[in-house]
Chain A
């Protein structure tokens, strides 16, 4: 174990701003990307479901 206390951990031996801005941006983008892809999937599904329903109404 390298750290005596949580404060020491977050200080990263004086490199806090560099380490946390690297890991922070990386984590943020890797959470954001799947959310955006999921949105893309659900929006095309919504369009297709609507078209399907329109076709059903037409055929009635």
Chain B
């Protein structure tokens, strides 16, 4: 039983993941707050005023991280949903379900901050360009995933139905990412990419990266909190849940 693969499967059970997640949550909150404070400091006090957009450009310090996370979380959610569908592991479906609301929040924030940035810079809250439309579809995919799972009483069946929706929807993520290249969009192209040097001031880049890390740590922390609640809800009638110290409590 010392096989490392079996060790990984061990943490794949809700019973051993529940306390592990509990131990990880404070660490991710600490990192989220630390990165967030550093990122906000740079966003407001270090990064210079943009010569074209004035101070209004500072919205991108939350817009870009939120947009990145909305896409990244969707892929992670679809990954867990797919694993659950293929291997029929209990925890995978719970992970997918725990990530969805946070992903929807990030998608909403990217649309909200984008609209507010668009009004002064483009003169419109919203345009039906490829980037904005595909980002709106991403938000609807999250909402659809949550609604579909909520509509099916049997959690295992809900997992399966949700997984198919999530996997089909994955095709939208590269569409969002490359939309600014494939179509002639009003939305600007990527300022930061893996293949070339970023086209923005170094301090702005640092601010954005720190904020992205903060959003990332936040997403992990809050998803772990939610998956713990989902584990308890779904495993309520198992012996290990009944024997948890927080449920045994002080015998009164």
A interface residues, Cβ below 8 angstroms from B = 1-3, 9, 12-15, 18-19, 21-23, 25-26, 29-30, 33-34, 37-38, 40-41, 44-45, 47-49, 51-53, 55-56
Contact = CB atoms under 8 A, between A and B. Distances in A.
Contacts of A48: 232, 236, 241-242, 247
B225 interface: yes
Nearest to A8: B55
A52 B221 CA distance: 29
Contacts of A47: 236
Given A40-B229, A41-B229, A41-B232, A15 B56 contact: yes
A34 B12 CA distance: 24
Contacts of A21: 116
B191 interface: no
A41 B229 CA distance: 5
A25 B117 contact: no
Interface residues of B, number: 41
Given A13-B49, A13-B55, A52-B248, A22 B113 contact: yes
B109 interface: yes
Interface in B225-239: 225-226, 228-229, 232-233, 236
12 contacts: A9-B44, A12-B55, A13-B56, A14-B55, A15-B58, A15-B120, A18-B119, A18-B120, A22-B62, A26-B109, A40-B229, A56-B251
Contacts of B175: none
Contacts of B63: 22
B167 interface: no
